[in-house]
């Protein structure tokens, strides 16, 4: 299994960048127009710095020589201009030897100008992905392989089904609920097979997701959240007329998808624990079995609710520091759309997670009892 994992890692590292390069070469460029096109992208390596001095408005201006590494212009050397703006978030500190993504202006198959768009980071992303897959395979073995398959299907469903459907104008909230149920079913069946434990976890996850959806919609409408607190959502307003986005439901859809992983984890943990208890003590009563599941759920609940809340808080640390530095009043902060949205996001998911515990415990006890009764009747008949 370790040998297979190593081979798979090697394939990922070697094949994925090759496929990406081929895609850039075949579908990423169009040079047949006489007009100025939108900038086209290519990977490049900075060879040398030709000039560095003061440019417009007193900011630094640099001129580099760069070798293009991908696409039809591969192997050509091009001049790259890099102008600083004084904003550390926007300025790129480039040195010879760095690999960058160039935005090139092309007219009649000739590069007329080239600017650095960002640093080349693909390889490190692929490397980290390969390490992630390798660790899962080495430690999880067959279960790990099933987890990777389930993860791949989840990514495909979100990227190829849910997001394109949203862009076509379908309701984000309903799409998120449907995709959540499908993802939960595929993931748990792939990993655990068609068993009573899997069915209990699926129903428990579905129940928790629906509770999170109900809470977020109820409080979101009552608190008059706009769904436009983030810059990404605000940028979508430019295409809203063509698509007809429901930004509130887009927010609620994000809450559901964001909570799904933790809810699924809780449900399968409780269902697995209850099945184990039943196997080791077949004579246990339904009440005691449910109590056992609830006790397991209570232990999980504290850490999982922390996981959700800390995840959302962690993403907001710069903003929270900004509020603290400027000594904004509590009344202003807590009533801001963005802050209220984050509260609803984290607490709705946590409430859905908490409701997952009793739902899974009750369903698992009922299914385990039914399964045991069927086995007993079969043995008596034989």
CATH number for the domain including 87? 2.40.50.140
Question: Which residue in 126, 127, 73, 80 sits closest to 99, CA to CA?
Answer: 80
HSE (side-chain half, CA atoms, 13 Å) at 233? 19
pLDDT at 19: 41
pLDDT at 56: 66
Q: How far is CA 258 from the centre of its chain?
A: 8
Q: Are residues 76 and 183 in the same domain?
A: no
Give me the domain span that covers residue 87.
34-118
The reply to whether 176 falls in a domain is yes
CATH number for the domain including 214? 1.20.1640
- Burial profile 45-79: b = 16 or more Cβ within 10 angstroms, e = fewer: ebeeeeeeeeeeeeeeebebebbbbbbbbeeeebe
pLDDT at 160: 92
Q: Are residues 204 and 88 in the same domain?
A: no
DSSP strand E in the chain: where? 40-54, 60-68, 77-83, 99-107, 110-119
Q: Which of 94-98, 104-108, 232-236 has the least mean pLDDT?
A: 232-236
Q: Whole-prediction pTM value?
A: 0.73
The reply to whether 8 falls in a domain is no
pLDDT at 370: 56
The reply to whether 155 falls in a domain is no
Q: Are residues 104 and 174 in the same domain?
A: no
What is the DSSP code (8-state) at residue 238?
A: G
Query: What length does the chain have?
Result: 382
Span 239-280, pLDDT tens digits: 656 667 788 888 899 989 988 988 998 999 999 999 999 888
Domain count, the chain: 2
The reply to whether 3 falls in a domain is no
Span 325-342, pLDDT tens digits: 877 788 888 888 888 888
84, pLDDT greater than 80: yes
Of the three residues 88, 118, 148, the one that is the final residue of a domain is: 118
What single string gives the DSSP state of each residue in 196-227?
A: HHHHHHHHHHHHHHHHHHHHHHHHHHHTT--S
pLDDT at 243: 64
pLDDT tier, 101 (very low <50, low <70, confident <90, very high otherwise): very high
376, pLDDT greater than 70: no
């Amino acid at each position: 299994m370790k040998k297979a994992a190593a081979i798979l890692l090697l394939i990922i590292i070697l094949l994925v960048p090759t496929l990406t390069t081929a895609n850039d070469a075949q579908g990423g460029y169009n040079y047949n127009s006489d007009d100025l096109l939108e900038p086209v992208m290519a990977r490049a390596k900075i060879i040398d710095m030709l000039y560095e001095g003061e440019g417009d408005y007193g900011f630094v201006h640099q001129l580099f020589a760069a070798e293009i590494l991908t696409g039809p212009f591969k192997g050509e050397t091009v001049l790259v201009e890099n102008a600083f703006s004084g904003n550390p978030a926007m300025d790129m500190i480039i040195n010879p030897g760095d690999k960058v993504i160039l935005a090139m202006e092309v007219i009649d198959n000739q590069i007329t100008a080239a600017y650095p768009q960002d640093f080349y980071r693909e390889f490190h992303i692929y490397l980290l992905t390969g390490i992630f897959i390798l660790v899962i395979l080495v430690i999880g073995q067959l279960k790990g392989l099933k987890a990777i398959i389930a993860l791949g299907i989840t990514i495909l469903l979100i990227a190829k089904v849910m997001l394109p459907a949203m862009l076509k104008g379908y309701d984000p909230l309903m799409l998120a609920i449907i995709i959540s149920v499908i993802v939960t079913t595929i993931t748990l069946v792939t990993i655990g097979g068609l068993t009573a434990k899997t069915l209990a976890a699926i129903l428990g996850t579905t129940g928790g997701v629906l509770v999170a959806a109900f809470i977020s919609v109820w409080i979101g409408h009552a608190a008059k959240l706009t769904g436009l607190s983030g810059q990404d959502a605000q940028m979508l307003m430019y295409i809203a007329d063509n698509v007809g986005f429901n930004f509130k439901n887009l927010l609620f859809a994000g809450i559901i998808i964001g909570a799904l992983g933790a809810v699924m984890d809780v449900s399968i943990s409780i269902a697995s624990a209850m099945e184990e208890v039943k196997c080791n003590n077949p004579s246990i009563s339904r009440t005691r079995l449910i109590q056992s599941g609830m006790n397991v759920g209570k232990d999980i609940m504290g850490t999982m609710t922390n996981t959700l809340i800390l995840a959302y808080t962690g993403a907001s640390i710069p903003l929270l520091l900004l509020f603290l530095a400027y000594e904004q009043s509590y009344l202003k902060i807590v009533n801001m759309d963005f802050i209220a949205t984050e509260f609803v996001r984290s607490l709705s998911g946590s409430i859905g997670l908490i409701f997952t515990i009793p739902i899974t415990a009750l369903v698992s006890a009922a299914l385990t009892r039914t399964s045991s009764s069927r086995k007993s009747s079969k043995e008596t008949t034989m």
